[in-house]
Chain A
Amino acid sequence: MHDDPLKDDPKAKVDDTSGVSRRDFLKISTISAAAVPILGTKVVQAAGEPVKVYGPGKVPVELTINGQKHTLQLEPRVTLLDALRDQLEITGAKRVCDRAECGACTVLVNGKPVYACSILAIEAQGKSIKTIEVMMKGESLDAVQQAFVDNDASQCGFCTPGFVVAFKAVLDQNPNATAEEIRHGLSGNVCRCGTYHGIHLAIAQMAQKGA
């Protein structure tokens, strides 16, 4: 299951670096006062409170990806996935459904698996973002990756990075995860070629190791 990484995170409430929260967005949508620009960032009165508004033009966005800081100029509407792929050319996470249905774009945000297509880049500021690109240990495959190779769990390979990241996330949280728990962790990922048999075997291999 892919949790909303922002749900239980108190820091995720709107602040100087992180876009507009859902709650604030609802407030903005009912504003009556005219927007007043202050020092480049718009502030509007919404439900009696001042709320910062970003965009619609490009704004600076700072992302920490695979341990490295990147400063980008992005429209606030750009998703984390598009920022990764089109701005930074970090292309392991794939764009398939672009609406949180298939898991091909799974990345880790503060250690939790997240659909990168369904979080805005501006919301991902101040968080640790990890992609498939740092799963290898130097030139050696991670045990999960090796289990995919051993059990031929990739065909065209387009869904594979998403599966590997989601799989790794389960084991990062619980190295002793059972096969059932791993399967649960991968239930948000979809494959078209039909590599599930190999993935089942990879799960068995890793669950055995964990046990």
Chain B
Amino acid sequence: MPDYNWPDAEHRTLIGKRISRVDAPVKVSGRAKYTYDYHGANMLFGKVLRSPYAKAKIVSIDTSAAEKLSGVKAIEIIQKVGTTAQWAGDEIIAVAAVDESTAEDAVRLIKVNYQPMSYLVSDAEPPAGAGEAAGPMSDDDIDDAISNQMPDAQLVQYLQEHGVSFKVDDDFLKDMKGEGASEAVLAAIQKAAYHEVKSTGHSNFQKTAAQTHGEPDKAIAEADVVSEGLYGAAVIAHCCLEPHGSVSEWTDKDHLFTHISTQNVSGIAAQMAEPLAISAANIHVHQDNVGGGFGSKFAADRWDITAARLSKKAGGRPVRIMLERDSELKVAGARPSAYARVKVSAKKDGTLTGWQSQSWGTGGPGGGGMPPIPYVFNIANQHKEHTAIRNNIGPARAWRAPNHPQAAVITMGALDDLAAKLNMDPLELWRKNLEIAGPRGDTYREELTIAADLMGWKEKWRPRGQNISGNIARGLGLSIHTWGGRGHESDCDLTIHPDGSVDVKMGTQDLGTGTRTTIVIVAAETLGIPIEAINLYIGDTLYPPSGGSGGSTTPGGVSSSTRRAAVDARELLFAKVAPALNAQPADLECVNSTVRVKSDPSRSLNWKQACSKMGAMSLTARGHNDQVPAKNHPDLTNSGVGGVGMAYVEVDTETGIVKVKKMVAVQDCGLIIDLKTAESSCYGAMVMGISYALFEEKVMDQATGRMLNPNMEFYRLAGLNDIPELVVHMMTGKGYDERGVIGLGEPPVVSPGAAIANAVANAIGVRVSFLPLTPDKVLTALTTTQKAGA
């Protein structure tokens, strides 16, 4: 069997080196094309009328004036009369017109009467005793869950655990199918057990089952030290610079061509097929580049289906719907909030003994689950309760490392307060408890030492509130994190042509994470030719399918499938070339743009000569990576990383402004394909961390139910001048490389927020409970201490 294993260190010429991303030139020159840049012939512009209310029943719709407006080509009602809009910005009606301003004029001419209903947009701590126990789902609950884009797995699990409160019939299943329910969800509805319910009230608060391990009450009662605190992180938006959206056109009555801004090229057609009542095979999806996703661009969204329907009504003309900036911030993605009251206990030497938490948070209408707390540290005795708030802020979507940054803020914050109470350097408390930090414990130990050296922790660290000169308080904070990152399902076709050219085709996408670069490095390394010799084709359903880019699954997936395709194609080439070199195929190798005999390198052909021996036919091999590790022989990818983040901050105690002065990230991710783009993932993650730690929050107005800051002036992102010295250290070499390729998108973004929050507490001597750490919160916290001290 051919040897698919990654080459060992001395045989790597490209893997693990610092190589500039291959699509950088096209990006810096403005030539890179994004979905928003695609302009189909005779393209129409789609605009969406959105609900002005956080919750309202649609009473009547009158589109007659819009229909008469010159230039309007199609109108599509998205939510019918009688439907309830569930958040401000919910899609009601869409218009396609010859230009954007005509479409906007048409939207203004549509009259919709609403019956506003009571709503909730707050995610404040639920009142004591609030929250119904999880119960069976009504037909409305299921309808809501589907229209609110509740993840399939979550909905299926809920149905399995709690059943339904009504008799499911074929009509209902047909309706749900029409609304886009997947086969898995439909099956779960059919199989769900029937339970009668007494109360018909629909609470905004839902308690999830309490979890207890060991004897938390006893552990806390008997502990040397107990620390109590309040921690959390607000809802933030994805704010992709290229908004969500697509351009769809019917090339004939059965075939759709869609350009879409997505993290999931190969998965879009199947999602669009059912609502459009055509076969997925008849949907051609294309995307060259995507202007950011961060977890929010996996689905074919309602507006994408709408664009396709408008196109059909307009005789197949391309229809573009790209969200406006305010809509992008209101409806196209939010990271759930999470807050917790925590009690954590330890022995005098810092050994953790007990954890109790009451947490809450919202992910919009779907509620949302409990973050994985206590994070990383598996404290033996723990009790956890969580209340999900179902409110009307718009649906949540996955955001880099779903639930982990929130879990880190809560857990690492609680441990940092505990360390302060023990008069211990947090670095020592973390080290003391690495035995319960899971399988990456030894990695953390190594990383903490490296990070502390890079930060100058020993020289800089002072006990809380003891590094203040004038109005500037300085402090250090740290956090650790973990993630899976195993490679996803991926197919790759690699073709070697008789003229020596090489094509690699895969239905993946490059989010700016370096996917293109990863693929060409692996192909070039395997064939012993320069990366420039590889022609790479991605971003199209014409190419073999590859998984969506989420959960750090892409590097492992695409590198493994490319490696297998390249090795197999190389074997095919060797069989053709062997006679010319008077050797056995197994004795050949590809090195330095030649094919040569291993035992006698003087017998060689240059790459072009070698390829000319294959005759007239090109050679193609398909490589497959299975997401089930046991199906890969050998398995080239792996799961499970550990990383450390440290932050050094200055807080102006007069203005409450926090400035991050230095950050350090130390991260492992198995075998690194391109060190340069890997480091960039960590640098970018620290920047995003500074942004969500200090600035970002989706601010909801309780009075109107609307988002108050749906623009980039008041939804503030970190800017160039907010970024200090950033230091990245990637763990490589023995103990890391041989693990195989592991993804890196999520892990480094987890710790920065927690590390910064801890650094602020270390600086000013008091905890600022909730991210973002805005001046008002910092000043309030300072005032509280002064009062307490007085």
Contacts and interface: CB of A to CB of B under 8 A. Distances in A.
A binds B: yes
Q: Interface size class for chain A?
A: 35 or more
Contacts of B289: 156-157
Interface stretch (A3-11, A30-38, A41-49, A147-155): A147-155
Interface in A124-168: 131-133, 135-136, 141, 145, 148-150, 152-161, 164
Given A141-B25, A154-B28, A156-B292, A194 B241 contact: no
Interface in B95-132: 99-101
Contacts of B24: 148-149, 152, 154
B297 to A, nearest CB: 11
A192 B717 contact: yes
A192 B236 CA distance: 13
Nearest to B663: A197
Contacts of B20: 149-150, 152
Given A82-B100, A94-B291, A149-B20, A136 B29 contact: yes
B292 A192 contact: yes
Contacts of B241: 94, 96, 102, 104, 156, 158-159, 190-192
A75 B239 contact: no
B516 to A, nearest CB: 11
Nearest to A136: B29
A148 to B, nearest CB: 5
Contacts of B679: 152
A16 interface: no
Given A98-B325, A190-B719, A195-B684, A131 B30 contact: yes
Contacts of A25: none
B676 A192 contact: no
A142 B524 CA distance: 28
Contact of A149 (B25, B239, B713, B721): B25
- Of A77, A156, A195, most buried by chain B (CB within 10 Å of CB) is A156
Contacts of B240: 192
A97 B39 CA distance: 20
A158 B322 CA distance: 15
A131 to B, nearest CB: 7
B685 to A, nearest CB: 7
A131 B31 CA distance: 11
A193 interface: yes
A133 B37 CA distance: 14
Interface in A92-112: 92-99, 101-102, 104
- Of B23, B679, B719, most buried by chain A (CB within 10 Å of CB) is B719
Contacts of A164: 28, 30
- Of B292, B687, B720, B726, most buried by chain A (CB within 10 Å of CB) is B720
Contacts, number: 168
A207 B304 CA distance: 45
B665 to A, nearest CB: 11
Interface string B315-347: 000000000110000000000000000000000
B758 interface: no
Given A75-B101, A157-B27, A97 B683 contact: no
B620 to A, nearest CB: 31
A152 to B, nearest CB: 5
B476 interface: no
A2 interface: no
B720 A187 contact: yes
A188 to B, nearest CB: 9
B290 interface: yes
Interface string B134-171: 00000000000000000000000000000000000000
Given A152-B20, A156-B512, A158-B292, A196 B27 contact: no
Contact of B512 (A135, A154, A199): A154
B383 interface: no
A91 interface: yes
Contacts of A82: 100
Interface string B224-258: 00000000000000011111000000000000000
Given A190-B719, A193-B292, A91 B37 contact: yes
Contacts of B684: 155, 193-195, 197
A190 B32 CA distance: 19
Contacts of A96: 241-243, 325, 712
A133 B28 CA distance: 10
Interface in B18-53: 20-21, 23-25, 27-34, 36-37, 39
Contact of A195 (B29, B324, B680): B680
Contacts of A194: 683-688, 691, 718
A206 to B, nearest CB: 13
A26 interface: no
Contacts of A193: 292, 512, 684, 687-688
A157 B101 contact: no
B28 A156 contact: no
A13 interface: no
A89 B39 CA distance: 7
B427 interface: no
Contacts of B683: 194-198
B513 interface: yes
A148 B20 CA distance: 10
B711 A97 contact: yes
Nearest to B32: A157
A86 B100 contact: yes
B511 interface: yes
Given A94-B242, A154-B512, A192-B239, A200 B688 contact: no
Contacts of A183: 720-721
- Of A154, A159, A161, A192, most buried by chain B (CB within 10 Å of CB) is A192
Closest 6 CB pairs of A and B: A92-B30, A194-B687, A158-B291, A155-B512, A156-B512, A194-B684
Given A92-B30, A191-B241, A194-B684, 9 more contacts: A92-B31, A94-B291, A132-B30, A145-B28, A157-B23, A157-B32, A157-B512, A193-B684, A193-B688
Interface of A: 75, 77-78, 82, 85-86, 89, 91-99, 101-102, 104, 131-133, 135-136, 141, 145, 148-150, 152-161, 164, 183, 186-187, 189-200
26 contacts: A91-B37, A92-B29, A94-B291, A98-B325, A104-B241, A141-B28, A141-B29, A149-B20, A149-B25, A149-B28, A150-B20, A152-B20, A153-B28, A154-B28, A155-B680, A156-B241, A158-B241, A160-B30, A186-B720, A190-B717, A192-B717, A194-B684, A196-B687, A196-B719, A197-B723, A197-B726
